Amino acid sequence: MLPSLTSTLTVVFRAALLAGACLIAPVFAGPDNMPSQSQVIHSEPFHIEINRTGRIDFRYITNLSFKTPGFVDILYADSGQRIYAGDTIATIELTDLMATKASITARHQKSHQDLQRARQLYRDKTVSKDFLEQAETDAVQAQSEMEQIDYDIRKATIVVPFDAVVVSRLVQPGEQVSSGSPVFSVASTDPKNLVVRLNLTQNEISQVELQMPVVISTPEQQTFNGKIIAISAIADASTGLYEVEIAVDFDQRRALPGQWVQASIGVTRQQPSYRIPIVALAAVTNGEASFVIDSGNGYELRQFPIIHMDQQSIYIPATDNQIRVVTRGWDRLLNQLEQ
């Protein structure tokens, strides 16, 4: 039966004393003669900095469309072009609409004449009340058709409702469009319509929350304050990342949609934690991290819940002011502990 790790360390310690050496810490020398090394980790409030590259983008995009069906006649704007409130940027071909109006106008005039005649005949008691009511119904219907065709002609143009930029032009001249079918996608140029979008991992997304402050840095070394206003609840199917939207106070300074920026999110909690170097990690099982702990009298393998993990460190809940963790040689010690 193999001796315990504590017994082995005791023999090594006594042998060293007899040889005149002074051991300053319990160690176990492996086959490569590299001693284990422990590091004291002090408890501190949990704090991490999430630094990611994001992109300035429009928060809202609006589709502009005709309110009447027809064939597109002229498009006055193209993708990427600035447009201004009140500008006419598209028209529908009016030939069919004007022909329809001529026909409706003729019916409208006839229905008005028929109504006048029906009223006179009814006063003369030569027709029934039903005859008069039918004439009145026809006149109302003709008037409604007249109002509708006038509306269609007025709405045979697209007028820009606000200062914007054309994100995309969705049709070409000559194409037939239905009422409400998108012709342009536009985005308001109001700075409040600009956000920064960035993607976070599942581990990072669990640390952020709405209204959390963010610092945005541009390539021109300008910095802006922002806050998280939207967090995606579903990861992107292709990347597995979660999108976060950040509202930024650009302070009327020039911000270009599509520009890449750096986002820094500081996450601080009062929860005491140990920040342990990733090199000390022995294993991760069922969401818990395993480390070899140096108690001063021996070693033991312990598991801890993971608060956060990145490429440099693992954060676990602190149970005392400090803890001594084996950061080098833990694998050899672990083999001894498992025997």
Distances (CA, A) of 2 to 8, 176, 299: 10, 87, 16
Q: pTM of whole model > 0.75?
A: no
Range scoring the smallest mean pLDDT among 11-25, 77-91, 113-127 = 11-25
Domain of residue 80 covers 62-188
Using the 3D structure, point to which of 265, 284, 304 is the last residue of a domain. 265
pLDDT at 84 (0 to 100): 96
CATH of the domain at 80: 2.40.50.100
Instruction: Judge if 145 and 72 occupy the same domain.
Output: yes
Final residue of a structural domain among 188, 209, 234:
188
**Do 74 and 164 reside in the same domain of the chain?**
yes
Instruction: Kindly state whether residues 182 and 66 are assigned to the same domain.
Output: yes
CA torsion sign for 118, 122, 126, 132 is positive
Together in a domain, 126 and 172: yes
Same domain, 76 and 94: yes
Residues 154 and 227 placed together within one structural domain of the fold: no
Q: Are residues 289 and 251 in the same domain?
A: no
Same domain, 221 and 247: yes
- Mean per-residue pLDDT for 30-34? 47
Going by pLDDT thresholds of 50, 70 and 90, the confidence category of residue 26 is: very low
Asked if 238 and 317 sit in the same domain, the reply is no
- d(C-alpha 94, C-alpha 69), whole Å: 11
Are 138 and 223 within one domain? no
Parallel, antiparallel or unpaired: strands 213-217 and 260-277: antiparallel
Q: Is 12 inside any structural domain?
A: no
CA 262 to chain CA centroid, Å, is: 15
Q: How would you write 128-148 as a 3-class SS string?
A: CHHHHHHHHHHHHHHHHHHHH
Find the CATH number of the domain harbouring 209: 2.40.30.170
Residue at 17 is within a domain: no
Considering the domain boundaries, does residue 210 fall inside one? yes
Question: Which pLDDT score, from 0 to 100, does residue 34 have?
Answer: 57
| Continuous segment of H or E residues that includes residue 153 | helix 129-154
Residue where a domain stops, chosen among 213, 240, 265: 265
pLDDT in tens, 135-164: 999 999 999 999 998 988 888 999 999 999
**Is pLDDT larger for residue 22 or for residue 302?**
302
Q: Is the pLDDT of residue 197 over 90?
A: yes
Number of domains within the chain: 3
Instruction: Report how far apart the first and last C-alpha atoms of the chain are (Å, whole number).
Output: 9
For the stretch 250-297, pLDDT in tens is: 866 677 888 999 999 999 888 899 999 999 999 999 989 999 999 888
Average pLDDT (37-53) is 93
Q: Which conformational region is residue 172 in: left (phi greater than 0), alpha (psi within -120 to 50 degrees), or beta? A: beta
Task: Indicate whether 181 and 120 sit together in one domain.
Answer: yes
